[in-house]
Amino acid sequence: MVSESDKQLKEAMERCARLEAENARLRSILADHGLPSEPAAERPSDQSLNPNTAIHNGSPPSEKLELFRSLFRGREDVYALRWERGEKHGYAPAAEMDWKAIHAAPPDKRKQVALKTRTLRPLTDAAVRDHLEGKATIGSYPLLPDETCWFLAVDFDKSGWREDTVAFLTTCRRFNVPAALERSRSGNGGHIWIFFDHPVPAYNARQLGAALLTRASESRHEIGLDSYDRFFPNQDTMPKGGFGNLIALPLQKVPRKLGNCVFLNERFEPFPDQWRFLSEVRRVAADMIPAIIHEVAPEDNIVGVRFAALDEDAERDPWLLPPSKKKREQPVEGPLPARVRIVLSNLAYVEKQNLPPALLNRLCRLAAFQNPEFYKAQAMRLSTYGKPRIISCAEDFPEHIGLPRGCLQDTLDLFSLHGVATEIQDERTLGHPIDVEFHGTLLPAQKEAATLASAADNSVICAPTAFGKTAVGAWLIAQQKVNALVIVHRQHLMDQWRARLAAFLDLPLESIGHIGGGKTTRTGEIDVAVIQSLQRKGDVRDLARMFHRRSDFVVLGVPVRFGGHCGGVRAGSRPGCGDRGGLVASDSPSENAIRTQFDRSAKCATGKSFVCRAEFSAQQRSAAQTCPNTCCQG
C-alpha cells in the first residue's frame, strides 16, 4: 500500500519535472531573442549599499509610499476602486454617494443623479497603503486632465503572453528604452511599464508604444494588431464626461502572495526585493521621446498599416507620402524559401512554412488599415470603447495566413520584391449553372457599373440609396448564370429582394429561397439571407459555408460602415462563402454617384493586372470602358 508520504513525494517530483520543462522552454525563448538564460547576479541586500538612494524591503513605509506614488502616477483627484459581488467584479471611481438624493429620484433617473451628486475621493497615502496591505485594490487613471501622462503600460493577455513580452522587451532594449515587466493580477498575462521623468503628451507616449509594438511584431507576428488597443492610457485626448481607461496598480498584497502583481526578471521569476528593483528603474527623458520615435519608425508610419482615409478620397497625412504615393517598404532580411504556395478559396491562404516572422507580419498588415471611426470619435472627444484602432482582415491559422482575395496582387508583389516564386492553387468552385434571363432595361449609370463589375474576378459596387441595386444584382445574376446568394441585414429587405428578383428574372416567388425571420427555405439556386441568420456570436453557420462550395456569386445588399457594426457582424468579418461580387449601399452617398472598385485580379486590355477605383456621376459618363483609370500597373 502506498503511504501518504510516498504520494506527496511523487507529486513533488512530477511538479519539479513540469517546472524543469517550463524552464527549458523559457530558456529556448530567451535564446531565440538573444537574451541570457542565466539570471544576473543579484545585489546583496545589505542596507549599507547606497543607503541614501536604494529603497529596499527594509526601508521605512513612508519611503516606499513616496517611491510607489512617484512611479505609478496618474490623476491625483480621483482613483478607481475594485468591487466584487459574487462572481462579478469591476472598477468604479472611488466616491462618496448621496444616497438620499439617489433614492428620491425616479428609478430611470437614479444613475444620472448618482453621477451629478457624487463626491470623488482624491488619491491619498492612506488609499495607497490600503492597496499595498491588501485591504483594497485600487486602479489609476493615467491620462491627466491636461492630456499628459507619467507612464505608458502595455497589456499582453493572450495565451502566448510570455513570448509576446519577450519580443517587446527585446525591442525596448534594442532602442534603449527602459521597461519593466509585471505579471498581471490573474497570472495569465503581463504588463510592461515605461516610466517618464516628466509628464509627456499622451499622443507622444502612445506613439512610442505603437512604434515599439510594430517593431516587436516583426519578430513575432502572433502579438496581433489588437494589441494597439491595449495601451494605458488608451486615448490621446480626454473623452467628454470621463476619465479615460484605468489600470490596476501592482504589488497588491493578496495576489502578491500567489506570485502575481509583481515584477519579473528575464526568467519570469519575481525579483526577491521588489522595492530595490523599482528604486533602480530608469525613466525615459521626456524631451527624448520624439527622437526615439523617429529612430524606431523612421518612415513615420507608426503602426505599419494603411493610413485612415477619413474622407475616403485622400490619405490621412498625404504630406508624409513620397511622390509615388506609395509607402516605401524595406526588404525583409533572413533566409527565404525559393517558392511559396498560395491556395485560393474563400480567402487567399499563404503557407507559413519557412517564412520568417518579419514576412508573416508584413503579410498580416497587407489586410489591415487604420479605423477612421476610431479617429473620428477621438477627434470629437467621444468614447472609443468598442472601436478598434486597427481593423485587421487577416486570419492566422496553424499552417497558413488567410488574407482577403483582394489582397492577392499585393501578396504577389511582396513575394516578387523578395525574389520568392509563388505557386497558386485555385480551389474556388464555379457553382452550378442556372437558366435565368433578365427582363428589364438598366439605366446608363446602372449598365456602366454592372458591365465593369461583371468583367472583374472580384468586384464591389458602392451605390447610394435609390440607385437600383436590386436591378443591377438581378442583371449580374442573369449575366453570370450560376447559383447565387444575396445577403441583406433586415428582413424587410430580404422580402423586397425576393420580390424584385422574381420580377426581373421572371421566376415564381417560391423558387427564390430565403434564410431568416425564423425560416430556412433554400433552393440552392437563388437564395436571399439575413446576415444575422448566417452567424451567431461570431461563429458562421455551416449553411453559409455551403455556398462557398456550391456558389461563386454573392451579392451583399447591406450598408457598410467600417469600424462599427452592421447587423451584429464586425466590419471585415466574412460569412464563409466564396463571394465573387458585392453590391452595397453607401454609408455617406453623394448624389447620383457610385463607386466601382475592382480587386487586383481584374484585367485591362493589355492583360496586365490593375486596380480600378473610379467615380461616376451624371456629368462623368465618358470614362474609358476598358480601363477606366490611369491606374494600370504591370
- Domain made up of 444-616: CATH architecture: 3-Layer(aba) Sandwich (3.40)
The rounded distance, in Å, linking the Cα atoms of 330 and 41 is 39
Cis peptide before 233 (omega within 30 of 0): yes
Q: What pTM was computed for the model?
A: 0.71
Say what the pLDDT of residue 611 is.
29
DSSP string, 71-117: HS---SS--EEEEEETTEEEEEE-EE--HHHHHHS-GGGHHHHHHHH
C-beta of residue 140 within 8 angstroms of C-beta of residue 74: yes
Q: Which of 490, 410, 461 is nearest to 580 (CA)?
A: 461
> Which stretch of DSSP H or E encloses residue 295?
helix 289-296
CA angle 469, 471, 474 (to 5 degrees): 105
**Which CATH number is 335-426's, of 3.10.290.10, 3.40.50.620, 3.30.780.20, 3.40.190.10?**
3.30.780.20
Say what the pLDDT of residue 615 is.
31
Sole residue written with cell 415564381 = 508
- C-alpha 158, offset from chain centre: 13
Sole residue written with cell 516578387 = 416
DSSP state for residue 196 in the 8-state scheme:
E
Say what the pLDDT of residue 554 is.
59
Q: At what angle do helices 161-174 and 202-219 cross, to 10 degrees?
A: 110
User: Does the domain made of 143-296 have the CATH classification 3.30.70?
Assistant: yes
As averages over each run of 10 residues, the pLDDT of the chain (634 residues) reads 68 74 68 54 34 77 95 95 92 92 90 90 96 95 95 94 95 96 94 96 95 93 90 90 92 94 95 95 95 86 68 47 60 88 92 92 91 87 85 91 91 93 88 90 91 83 86 91 88 92 94 87 89 74 54 53 32 40 45 29 31 31 31 27
**How is the beta sheet containing 553-556 ordered, strand by strand?**
519-521, 513-516, 526-530, 484-488, 553-556
C-beta of residue 498 within 8 angstroms of C-beta of residue 562: no
List where CATH 3.30.70 sits in the chain: 143-296
Say what the pLDDT of residue 11 is.
74
Report residue 29 as a C-alpha cell.
525563448
At 153, phi and psi to the nearest 5? -125, 145
Pairing of strands 339-344, 348-351: antiparallel
List where CATH 3.30.780.20 sits in the chain: 335-426
Q: At what angle do helices 161-174 and 4-32 cross, to 10 degrees?
A: 40
Say what the pLDDT of residue 161 is.
95
List where CATH 3.40.50.300 sits in the chain: 444-616
The rounded distance, in Å, linking the Cα atoms of 264 and 155 is 15
Residue 228, burial from CB neighbour count under 10 angstroms (0-12, 13-18, 19+): buried
> Which stretch of DSSP H or E encloses residue 372?
helix 372-379
